[in-house]
Amino acid sequence: DGGITQSPKYLFRKEGQNVTLSCEQNLNHDAMYWYRQDPGQGLRLIYYSQIVNDFQKGDIAEGYSVSREKKESFPLTVTSAQKNPTAFYLCASTPRQKGNYGYTFGSGTRLTVV
Amino acid sequence: SQQGEEDPQALSIQEGENATMNCSYKTSINNLQWYRQNSGRGLVHLILIRSNEREKHSGRLRVTLDTSKKSSSLLITASRAADTASYFCATDLAGGADGLTFGKGTHLIIQP
């Protein structure tokens, strides 16, 4: 079955560490997105990518970095510059950017700073 | 910036009743989408309504869109315990950057 796989499901980070969250899709979608969700809140856009080797900052990109070397993969690195990284991170994809398509979401990664 | 705002923030009803959630937004949109999220899980796409559409149905779901009032509603008929979840509206902004803008959601509890 096609879908989006996020790993790991839970991740613990020490202060000052960089960590990388994985997102892989086998839907042949061009556009991929990273969102952050805090308790009781909606989703906020971190980064998005419309094609391979290209990505754009979203509303809250500071302290995060991404890469898009393959169409299927869009990993997110939470750097030590992100002051409050504890949150639920969701990856999504859609066939093309700005089309009338719904997003397909992964099951999320819960990141906790210890 | 917060584009969509759902109302109410929380809703508790008896199984079998209808549930209505509302969403308001601020700027012009290409489409508006509704998603469901079960606790600790990813979001599931429910329905998309384009800016030139006024009503759309999918199974027990009915969505309306009023672009003059910049508002949408999601109606779930004959609710079931399995409908307990958070529901989010998301807008695709006209002429804006890529990426949906989400509201804070309505938490729906269906009492058996």
Q: Is B102 left (phi over 0), alpha (psi -120 to 50) or beta?
A: beta
Interface residue A98 vs chain B (CB under 8 A): yes
Q: How far is A16 from chain B (nearest CA, A)?
A: 26
pLDDT tens, per residue, chain B with 112 residues: 446 788 899 999 999 999 999 999 999 999 999 999 999 899 999 999 999 999 999 999 999 999 999 999 999 999 999 999 999 999 998 877 788 999 999 999 999 9
Measured between CB atoms, does B39 come within 8 Å of chain A? no
Of all residues in chain A, the one with the smallest CA distance to B87 is A42
**B48 touching A (Cβ < 8 Å):** yes
Predicted local confidence at residue B5, as pLDDT: 84
**Model pLDDT for residues A49-108, shown as the tens digit of each residue:** 999 999 999 999 999 999 999 999 999 999 999 989 999 999 999 998 777 899 999 999
Strand partners, B22: B7, B73
A3 in contact with chain B, both atoms CB, cutoff 8 A: no
Confirm if A32 and A23 have CB atoms less than 8 A apart.
yes
Q: Per the structure block, which two tokens stand in for B13?
A: 């009803």
Q: How far from chain centre, in Å, is Cα A95?
A: 16
- Average pLDDT on A3-17 reads 94
What's residue B94's pLDDT? 83
**Predicted pLDDT at B1:** 44
Q: Which residues, other chains included, contact B31 with Cβ-Cβ below 8 Å and sequence gap of 6+?
A: A100, B48, B49, B50, B51, B91, B92
pLDDT tens for A26-38 read 999 999 999 999 9
CA B68/CA A23 separation, integer angstroms:
38
Residues A85, A21: contact at Cβ < 8 Å? no
Neighbour tally for A53: CB within 10 Å: 9
Using CA atoms, how far apart are residues B52 and A62, in angstroms rounded to an integer? 36
Facing B98 at nearest CB: one of A4, A31, A88: A31
- Contact between residue B55 and residue B62 where contact means Cβ atoms under 8 Å apart: yes
Q: Collect all residues of chain A within an 8 Å Cβ-Cβ radius of residue B48.
A: 100-102
Q: Do B30 and A98 touch (CB under 8 A)?
A: yes
| pLDDT reported for residue A94 | 95
Q: CB–CB of A43 and B88 under 8 A?
A: yes
DSSP letter for each residue of B10-79: EEEEETTS-EEEEEE-SS-EEEEEEEEE-TTS-EEEEEEEETT--EEEETTEEEEEETTTTEEEEEE-S-
* pLDDT of the residue at A111: 96
Do the Cβ atoms of B30 and A56 come within 8 Å? no
Omega cis (within 30) before B112: no
Q: For B81, phi and psi rounded to 5 degrees?
A: -55, -35
CB proximity list for B6: less than 8 A, separation 6 or greater: B21, B22, B23, B87, B88, B89, B103, B104, B105, B106
